[in-house]
Amino acid sequence: MAERLLMMALSPTMSEGTIVKWKVAEGSAFAAGSVLCEVETDKASMDYEATKDAVLLKILLPEGGKASVGDPIAVIGKAGEDPGPLAAAAPGIASRPPAAAAPGPVPVLPRAPSFAPEPSAPIAPPRVPTAAAEGMKRPSAPSSFPPSSPLARALARELGVDLRSARGSGPGGRVVERDVRALAELGPQAARGAAAATGPRATAPDQAADRRVPVTGKRAVIARRLSESFFVAPHYYLKRRVDAGPVMALRATANAGRQKPISLNAFLIKLSAEAIVRHPYVNSTWEGATILERSSIDIGLAVDLPDGLITPVVRDCARKGVAAIDEELSALIAKARERGLAPSEYEGPGFTISNLGSFGVEEFTAIINPPGSAILALGAAVAEPFVRDDGTVGVRRAMALTLGCDHRVIDGAAGARFLATLVSLIEEPGKALL
């Protein structure tokens, strides 16, 4: 009998996909294993392979159309069968096809239909503007993928591993088989994708009050990258309290008369960049056999969004003024809130700042954001008594700085030297001009 063909997760982090091209025409038969269509995922174009022999009765999602994992994209069945009701009815749990036909790694939960085709017009409009889909039609890996061997790519697909989080240990930093295998072992989450596709499914959601929520692509990426960082990079932390008064005063002066005030974060990014200029080893990446010393000081700032954290990156901060950094930062944050960032806007920071001061957190430790080797956690600036050099007691606005370092790259004393410079720049921002 006819059944719906669902968008399946072609990679573990894929939450939705865009049909680039249908390879089978309506009314045509196809065999198990043949390619039905080409799907653009969050990372690459992938082939959607048939899991059984059947006939493509009706295409529900045309080329350029986007669907979430679990949404129907076509109706398949026997030759001559009427796709009618299936092509029209809204997808729901009652009509969910058997597991074998929907080999997605995430349980298909009841979800509001993302589009509700009318019986007379079963072809849904694409959810993304055509121009955007056109722009995504690059046939192979986007440039943010590291160089990799063909076997590494085949294996990554097989094991459901995200190549972008692999560190290449092959010639010229190429990702090779062992890197993919290491990554698959590291994150069961990552390795599970393909295997779970045919494995046991979660219990039906109405059986208990507990709820299993499918992991979104973004959440999976956060989980994997931070687990990898935390379990692989030997972290240690250095704490200093700094008098934030001078930099806050400077900010107040700079903002006087400005329509749009410059954020404190922009000042701290700039001062961190200046400290990195004086200690360039902080801005580097452990690569196994080599350490990459970055030429550009690219600093990420952790930003809280409803669907999880994102770290927009301001490039080349050493060469930019505080105002330029602030402008770029606020544009990136606005874009992240509205439509999400392109990989080039959040990938590859050499240093990251996380500021939880606005939540009242006084001090905390953060997990290093790869590929950087250090992260600066900023607490709230709070008034506290302190003893001046002359022995008298005063009040200052103190802020806790906690620097998390990857010991493979930055030794304790080296981290401490960097932190000392940063403290002195924050307390005497004028020094940054020197």
Query: Which is catalytic among the residues 82, 304, 307, 411?
Result: 411
Note whether 289 binds other proteins by CB under 8 A. yes
Q: State which residue, 154 or 202, has the beta carbon closest to other proteins.
A: 154
For residues 368 and 402, give the distance between their C-alpha atoms in angstroms, rounded to a whole number. Answer: 12
Among 10, 57, 155, 425, binds other proteins (CB under 8 A): 155
The correct pick among 158, 327, 363, 427 for binding other proteins (CB under 8 A) is: 158
Which residue number, 288 or 340, has a Cβ lying nearer to other proteins? 288
Concerning whether 235 is annotated as a catalytic residue, the answer is no
Query: Which residue(s) pair with 243 in the sheet?
Result: 398
The 37-76 site mask, x for binding other proteins (CB under 8 A), equals ----------------------------------------
- Smallest distance from the beta carbon of 177 to other proteins, in angstroms? 6
176 binds other proteins per the rule CB under 8 A: yes
Asked if 150 is part of the footprint of other proteins (rule: CB under 8 A), the reply reads yes
**Contact indicator for 183, 194 with CB cutoff of 8 Å:** no
Please choose, out of 74-82, 147-155, 349-357, 399-407, the segment that lies near other proteins by the rule CB under 8 A. Answer: 147-155
Q: Name the residue nearer to other proteins (CB basis): 168 or 217.
A: 168
Q: Which of 171, 385 has the CB closer to other proteins?
A: 171
How many angstroms separate the CA atoms of 404 and 406, rounded?
Answer: 7
**HSE-up (13 A, CA, CB side) for residue 433:** 3
How far is residue 360 from each of residues 287, 356, 357, 364, measured CA to CA in Å? 37, 7, 5, 11
Which of positions 206-265 make contact with other proteins (CB under 8 A)?
Answer: none
Q: Which stretch binds other proteins (CB under 8 A): 151-159, 347-355, 361-369, 400-408?
A: 151-159
Q: Does 171 bind other proteins (CB under 8 A)?
A: yes
Task: Work out which of 29, 90, 100, 151 binds other proteins, going by CB under 8 A.
Answer: 151
Closer residue to other proteins, CB minimum distance, 156 or 410: 156
Q: Nearest distance from residue 96's CB to other proteins, in Å?
A: 29
C-beta closer to other proteins: residue 196 or 310 = 196
Q: Which of 52, 169, 146 is nearest to 102 (CA)?
A: 52
Query: Active-site residue 411, yes or no?
Result: yes
CB of 410 to other proteins, least distance (A): 20
- The whole-angstrom separation of Cα 202 and Cα 213 is 11
Q: What is the CA radius of gyration of the chain?
A: 26
Q: Work out how close the CB of 192 gets to other proteins at its nearest, in angstroms, rounded to a whole number.
A: 17
Smallest distance from other proteins to CB 283, Å? 22
**Between 152 and 367, whose beta carbon lies closer to other proteins?**
152
Q: Shortest approach of other proteins to residue 102 CB, angstroms?
A: 22
What's the start-to-end Cα distance of the chain, in Å? Answer: 77
The residues of the shown chain that bind other proteins, judged by CB under 8 A, are 149-152, 154-155, 158, 170-171, 176-177, 289
